[in-house]
Amino acid sequence: MASEDFHDINMALLDPVAPLLHKLLAGEPLSAEELLLLQEWQERSSDNKALLDRLEMSAAVQDMLKKWYAIEKNREEKKLLGMHRVHQLTPPIHTRVHFLRRRFVRYAAAGLLLLGTGAYLWTLRQHREPSLAHASSAETIAPGRDGAVLTLADGSRVVLDSMGNGVIANQQGVPVSLQNGQLAYGPISSSGEEMVYNTISTPRGRQFKVLLPDGSKVWLNAASALRYPTAFTGKDRRVTLEGEAYFEIAKNAAMPFKVAVGNTTEVEVLGTSFNINSYKNESTIKTTLLEGVVRLHAYQQSQTLKPGQQVSITPSKEKMEPAHEADPEQVMAWKNGLFKFDDASLPEVMRELERWYDIEVTYAKGIPPIRFGGEINKQNTLQDVLQILEESNVHFKLEQGRKLVVMP
């Protein structure tokens, strides 16, 4: 069967087995039940059997990926060329670049992309040399991963990146354990009057999940820190955040959950899920409510959010903006493994790359005012992401020491 013949396959037939085909391509083991389902699907038609045979041939898969990548790249280049011609006729004040989420595989085996794994199979399954002309001498920079540093009450630090499952510390009678990449706190085994605090921090290039003593869940983005007590007592549950985190709060109306951000902002919670972005190198603190109710307090002002709303606070102006509707997919993109930009400036994009790839970005003179829109999978190498961004009127030079120079 030629590669082109995959265009004629009835994609509806792939729906039940698309997750299994994805696991097959990713090299993950299938259960007995999954193997049986795949066998039944294979026997339904000769096309199904031929497709499965092709997917098990690595050379054939790579050939398909290359051809579909070329098709997609050609489509995007034509789109960008058309946009360029429009800009020539009506020069804009700012250049806006929209890129598609890379879907190098479109049919058959790539039906997996329809599941949202995207997975950038081309990137994950085949090694590619750095594509940037100026980056050939630099080491390929891998994406971030799970990992964090736990600072205990006595000031000692535990690096969680490579630790195995099990109890890693005991804080005032509270066992602290690591289970499958998640930090969790057990019940108090002995009484103690003193409230002690732990801090979980993620350096650049890391993210992590914490299960707090009350059962609340917190996902920390890169370059973030959360300070919290090892046991919640008293009238409320208080934590302090630096950076960005997504919270799913265990309900307890008698003990409100409160997040302190900086010295002036407090988010009061009553059983809900929400996201806070409070990086110091961003001009605003953004709180976005996904579910439930939160109340913000800052600069003698208060606002109550409804699901889907976002409030921005500008510390330099000591101002809280009125609540407005937000794009939940964009807000949660970092947690879902994506960079998602909506009319984002070049510095905004670069700050995200700095945090995720642990790089230092500098700018040459003469950079045009460019804005970006679109999605990119965060599991790409830095070089692959830069290649996508270079479809705009900007270029990059990656130097030794994880330094990235942005050039016109």
Report which of 292, 285, 185, 281 is spatially closest to residue 231, judged by C-alpha positions: 185
**How far is 328 from 248, CA to CA, in rounded Å?**
15
62-118 pLDDT tens trace: 555 555 555 555 555 544 555 444 444 434 444 555 554 333 322 222 322 222 222
Domains assigned to the chain: 3-125 (no CATH), 143-233 (no CATH), 241-316 (2.60.120.1440), 338-407 (3.55.50.30)
Predicted TM-score (pTM) above 0.75: no
* Helical H segments across 96-193, by residue range: 121-125
User: Per-residue pLDDT for 346 more than 50?
Assistant: yes
Q: What is the secondary structure of 265-321 as a DSSP string?
A: EEEEESS-EEEEEE-TTSS-EEEEEEES-EEEEETTEEEEEPTTEEEEEEGGGTEEP
Decide: 164 and 178 in contact? Cβ < 8 Å.
yes
Run of H or E residues at 178: strand 174-179
Run of H or E residues at 48: helix 46-55
**How far is 241 from 124, CA to CA, in rounded Å?**
34
User: Per-residue pLDDT for 21 more than 70?
Assistant: yes
**How far is 289 from 273, CA to CA, in rounded Å?**
6
Report which of 355, 365, 360, 357 is spatially closest to residue 408, judged by C-alpha positions: 365
Calculate mean pLDDT across residues 195-209: 94
Report which of 329, 406, 308 is spatially closest to residue 375, judged by C-alpha positions: 329
